[in-house]
Amino acid sequence: MDQVPEWDYQYMGSEVGPRLAMSRRKADRMLSRGFELTERPAVLQAMAEGRIDEGKALLILDQISVLSEIHKAIVEEDLLAYAQTRTYTSVRRHAQTMIHKLDPDAALRRHKKATKERVVEKRDLDDGMSSLRFVVPALEGVLIYDRIDRIARALPKDDRTLDQKRADVAMDVLLGKDTGAPQGEVRVYLTMPVTSVIGMNDDPAMLHGYGPLPAEVARDVVAGGIWKRILTDPVTGMAEEVSDVYRPTAKQRELIAARFPRCTAIGCQQPAHRCDLDHCCRYDGTNTTVKNLRPKCRHHHRMKHESTWRCENLPDGRHMWTTPSGDVYETELEPIAEPAPF
């Protein structure tokens, strides 16, 4: 690129496009990404060596773009190490959490900028179908999906899948038709340090089913919400255990969701409040405890019981899976409070 005169560079897409049989817009996008990668040699090297793929490389570039150079270097180094063994979604959530804590103002600026880009798009599909895409703030997105999901689950059983019911409910709601089921109460679950609630700092809130939200946005939600206190371990930041009972109580379910906000299968993003509570060690009459229970979506719950996959709860709270071929994967803890600095 250094050999291309500045006045010609802006038109390179028109030259590259025909050579690669792609549109000018796609060629411009590819050139822009290539240039951004050359600006971050550590990311480019990690991709060239196969430690991360192109998607994660571009994700890292996008996530650090709002930070100062000092903060960029800190987050980039952390993400390059983290991304090698994690899914794209896990890397994105980890990056967002770091940015919110490292530079809350940058996170808020990014949120406000993204909010201005909300949109509804229609894309024509084959076989007489269409796809509708909504880009809205995360909080409203979670609320909208929760409403559709609750109505769909309340419908009478028939030959439709749950996904088909959700699609039908969304169409009925948008077209002003009767959904055929109670509307239900729409809920979101936010975990937020009390120090952030009262304005002592700007640590982010965690929106279950999504990830971190800027403190300023979350405070508006908290002001009109129902508060529940969760005590955390000062060393690990993890939510503490409640008393043992025969069946999981509502209190236990809330505590487990706070400790494990999504399905504990590797890479699964299903929020805990839509999961089953599984006894990792087979129920023996006494082990319906927070230590033994873990959220698993219906697919992974069945996988554990109907296949040769095996899982085990480790003493520190992590969940370990062993595949039929013998590979071992461990989940990560997700503290809801900052561990004490000692």
Nearest alpha carbon to residue 196 among 172, 212, 173, 178: 212
- Position 275 pLDDT exceeds 80: yes
For the segment 118-174, what is each residue's pLDDT rounded down to a tens digit? 999 999 999 999 999 999 999 899 889 989 998 999 899 999 999 999 999 999 999
The model's pTM:
0.63
Q: Are 239 and 259 in contact (CB under 8 A)?
A: yes
Helix (H, G, I), strand (E, B) or coil at 311: strand
Element holding 329 (H helix, E strand): strand 328-330
User: What per-residue confidence (pLDDT) applies to 51?
Assistant: 95
- Please tell me the CATH code under which domain 6-114 is placed: 1.10.10
Integer Cα distance of 270 and 287 in angstroms: 25
**DSSP codes of every residue in 243-296:** ---SS--HHHHHHHHHHS-B-SSTT---BGGGSEEEESSPP-SS--STTTEEEE
Could you tell me which residues come within 8 angstroms of residue 137 by beta carbon, excluding any fewer than 6 positions away? Answer: 111, 115, 118, 217
**Structure confidence at residue 245 (pLDDT):** 37
Strand pairing partners for 133? 121
Q: How many DSSP H helices and E strands does the chain contain?
A: 14, 10
Q: Residues 276-291: pLDDT tens digits? A: 888 887 776 667 777 7
Which position has the higher pLDDT, 263 or 259? 263
Q: Start-end ranges of CATH 1.10.10 in the chain?
A: 6-114
- Backbone dihedral angles phi then psi of residue 166, each to the nearest 5 degrees: -60, -45
